[in-house]
Structure 1
């Protein structure tokens, strides 16, 4: 539990080899992080599992939820805390059936109110909106505005994640608009990860929800 209006949802870089486990531990030790998403591309489950297991252990030791991007089969294999599904990555109901009722299942909903409502009705545990800013991590095809967060929070209790190009310098309006989680990647891994986590926490505390 934290006193932060928005919690941090940390997403891995595509390369988690070499010194990355030590960097992850350093980031998580710098301050509260709610979840870590393991996001690698182009590997089979066996190779991905070998990379994921030490990271999963680091997260478990710090009580940080370990979420797998895209792959229900890898999440099942690792006994991960949950899976994050893109719009082309499978069905929430099927993922729930395979992973169990305690799994955290999130869904990418881009800038779409319809997709978010459909994900909620299907039983998702959270929805992710974005990109809010240009991102260096992945191509920006959908642009979301803070009004989407305000609309969602005004109607639904299901948690929402803001994603896409978010930095300590620009996250304030998203916190104020009601993002339950701020998803970050390059803003942390592109420099000193511990300093970045501290900067995010400072920015979140400086922008209480509902302020302007």
Structure 2
């Protein structure tokens, strides 16, 4: 398994994320109907479908271009909070990738740390607020720890996915403190957060394709 990824691999990552979002669109919408506006699945599917169209048409030459086109497309096509949050995540990854032609495991960890920092800055959320942060933050920490321990990218991404899944499940008993779900107060407990669910698909797609 390769421990470096190129532009083509990153495009394949985005395509796989789009496929997972499309496959689970109804589930994401149902999760959001319980504590949100019932549009997360539809919005994310529309946005990722647009991203795939853009990437096929424009053939980005560098990793940074993949992330920039993805982020800008999501900002312009996804409604609600998801567009700005996911858009910011990918745009931060674009800036972090710089002029690199290929990325190694440490680079991938830096990209996802930048994405996390961008989402935190944009959404003003913290772990425990019942948001996508509750899956993304532990995933990034697990990825960084695995890379620092010298594990190959495949193993590090697997660890990140497991951490994301645990973080996603941990949102179920939480009382939301941010976003539309926070309006429900105690009634938001007992429901899995849709944002934490979709970001777990992002990590799962990376583990499937980048490794």
Q: TM (normalized to structure 2)? A: 0.30
Name the structure with the higher strand share: 1
Q: TM (normalized to structure 1)? A: 0.30
Name the structure with the higher helix share: 2
